Structure 1
Amino acid sequence: MIFSSLIFMQTIANFANAKVISSVKPIGFITEAIVSGVTDTDIILPDGASPHTYYLKPSDLAKLKSAELVIWVGKDMEAFMPTILKNIDKQKQIELMTVPEIKSLLRTSHDKHEQEDAHSHDEVSQGHHGEYDEHIWLSPKIAKIIAQSIHDRLITLYPDKSTLIDENLDEFITKLTETEQNIAKKLITVQNRGYFVFHDAYGYFEAQFGLKKLGSFTINPAVQPGVQKVYAIQQKLKDHQAVCVFREPQFSPAVIEKIVSGTDVRIGELNPLGTSITLSKGAYSQFLSNLTQQLMDCLDRN
């Protein structure tokens, strides 16, 4: 019994080695780019899980309590974070939704490209979103501010490595700017191709690159879309307004297969969490490039 306890404690200790912790993988991509060569990083949300439905494990608690810095989006995105973070020094956290430069770029429900006539009662009452869209990692513009915020905090934590931290930030900004330009060149060819997404998560990316999203099935991926919403989408598909419907790896509801049946609308897949990407210095640009290719694979077909 004692031996088993020792093994358990050692396992927890191993999980707690990383000094900078990010809540979700895309934020971890940005973090890794700035922290690379300075200290170790890790991510709370495992591949295949959703930030909207995840529950912390003992190993997660150990990571968070031992971290020198925790980077997360906000309470409406990661409902699993606020309770544990109440017991962690605010100086050891960056809650990105409270960063002033980010707050000025946030999208509200009034900013969305489509003002859908009505969400179903279930969707509205059970939606995870607050006033603002918290999928901020899908904005390259906001990603640069996130990187700057991480940089500034790291400088105070590791002043002896300030030169490396500065270099990491410069490299990240340069690479991301180049990636943005490449994405814009690719997506310009499909800007007039209408599509639906299962989960309304891509507003920042769509706004920056001028995409033609016609609507979403749900504002909360854990809640199935209502009958009225499904009917409205079916009508638009019958009117040939859309060429694609996109699902996600975490959520692939049967309703999508059913709704496109009998039409020439294609089903694509978008991965807003970058679950197939390995944590590395260039992972964020790879994440955006992969998302772009996923869009192109479905939209750019004759």
Structure 2
Amino acid sequence: MKHIFAALCLLAAPAAAQNAPHVVTDIAPIHALVTQLMEGVGEPSQIIPTGSSPHSYAMRPSEARALRDADLVVWVGPSLTHWLEEPLDTLSGDAARLTLMDDDRAVKLPMREATELGEEHDHGHDGHDHEGEVDPHGWLAPSNAVLWASVISKTLADVDPANAEIYEVNSKRFAEEVGALEQEITAKLAPYHDASFIVLHDAFHYFEATFGVEADAFIVAGDGSTPGPAQIKALRDHLAEDPATCAFTAPQENDSLLRTVIEGQGTRIAVLDPMGDGTTPYATLIRQFADDMVACFSQE
């Protein structure tokens, strides 16, 4: 009887799920976005596990196999995961590929230099020159997420025409949800446009630019390069004269360097998660990010 029941369940399974394309994504927020677009069809794979740095990661055999079997690869691009470019060419050269930050219509912000964030913090980061480089953390701009969702859904439809209508419906629903979210967060953050804060890793620029808040300083550059002792001292001196209200880190980061920089200054530390766990819907991720920021600013 159990065997008959199992057979009936298999026959009843949606054809879309059985024939879903093999889609591979790089990081958690892109996995979550593609998951929403594929709802009712299937679920993508994620190469870089939640909690691992996208700037450097050694793939496991199972992740290499996922790339080898991919029909479509969706990734931010080499500006975030430069090490992934060669495996993509080698393992999934025949798959369709979307490099999200290469889209000319996307909002693209330059990598910020230390000189832009605090007058005395002017020595660069271990000699790294970021002039002309694009900040790769573009998913934190809701307008980029909506654009990418549209592009991804159309590419999914090309790869999997049988489910084109599902992808289109999911993309439209996503755009409506994120549009309403952007208005909601704009109102929440309006009272805090002059709030003073620093960030451990300069990964939040797109969110800041979208909603009219901007960090006074960062410690670790957008590409993950860390400052030397002279830069740390310069930043500490700067903040001693003009302390920040909040200092933001992320759950994926070790905040010991941040604590060193703000030691004795009365600055509140708060955690903002720009990545999620790969299943958190995009709107939920960005809403929580904004709420955690407001919670720090609004403390008496």
Q: Is TM more than 0.5 here?
A: yes
Partner of residue 58, structure 2 = 55
Offset at 1:85?
1.1
Residues 208-229 of structure 1: per-residue CA shift (max 9 Å, x gap)? 1000310100215754322232
TM-score of the superposition, structure 2-length normalised? 0.85
CA distance 1:98–1:258, shift in 2 (3 Å): closer
Output one character per residue of 1:64-88: Cα deviation in whole Å (capped at 9) or x when no partner. Answer: 1111111011112112311111132
Report if the CA contact (8 A) 1:56-1:80 is conserved.
no
Residue of structure 2 aligned with 1:148, choices 145, 150, 156: 150
Give CA deviations for 1:218-260 in whole Å, capped at 9, x if unaligned: 2157543222322232223222341011122222242222222
- What is the SS of the residue equivalent to 2:81? coil
Within 5 Å, give how 1:74-223 maps onto structure 2. Answer: 74-87=77-90, 88-89=92-93, 92-102=96-106, 105-109=107-111, 114=116, 118-122=122-126, 124=128, 131-219=133-221, 222-223=224-225
Whole-angstrom distance in 2 between the partners of 1:38 and 1:111: 43
Give the Cα–Cα distance (whole angstroms) in 1 for the partners of residues 173 and 80 of structure 2: 29
SS at match of 1:81: helix
Partner of 1:40: 43
Identical-pair percentage: 27
Measured at CA, do residues 230 and 112 of structure 1 come closer, stay the same or move farther in structure 2, by a change above 3 Å? closer
Per-residue CA deviation, residues 110-137 of structure 1 (Å, 9 max, x unaligned), is 7999355524351516x7x971111111
Aligned to 2:13: none
Q: Which residue of 2 aligns with 1:255?
A: 257
3-state secondary structure, aligned to 1:39: coil
Residues 1:300 and 2:298 are matched in the alignment = yes
Q: Which moved more, 1:110-119 or 1:286-295?
A: 110-119
Give me the whole-angstrom Cα distance separating, in 2, the residues matched to 1:84 and 1:231. Answer: 40
Structure 1 residues 91 and 170, CA, compared in 2 at 3 Å: closer, same or farther? Answer: same
Letter in structure 1 aligned against 2:67:
L
Alpha-carbon distance between aligned partners in 1 of 2:53 and 2:253, rounded to the nearest angstrom: 9
Task: Tell me if structure 2 keeps the 8 A contact 1:179–1:289.
Answer: yes
Do the aligned residues in 1 keep the contact of 2:125 with 2:231 (CA within 8 Å)?
Answer: no
Deviates more, 1:200-209 or 1:86-95: 86-95
Alpha-carbon contact 2:200-2:220 (below 8 Å) kept: yes
Kindly report the root-mean-square deviation, in angstroms, between the aligned alpha carbons of the 2 structures. Answer: 2.4
Q: Which amino acid aligns with 2:188?
A: K
TM-score with structure 1 setting the length = 0.84
Query: What residue is the counterpart of 1:279 in the other structure?
Result: 279
1:68 aligned partner, one-letter code: D
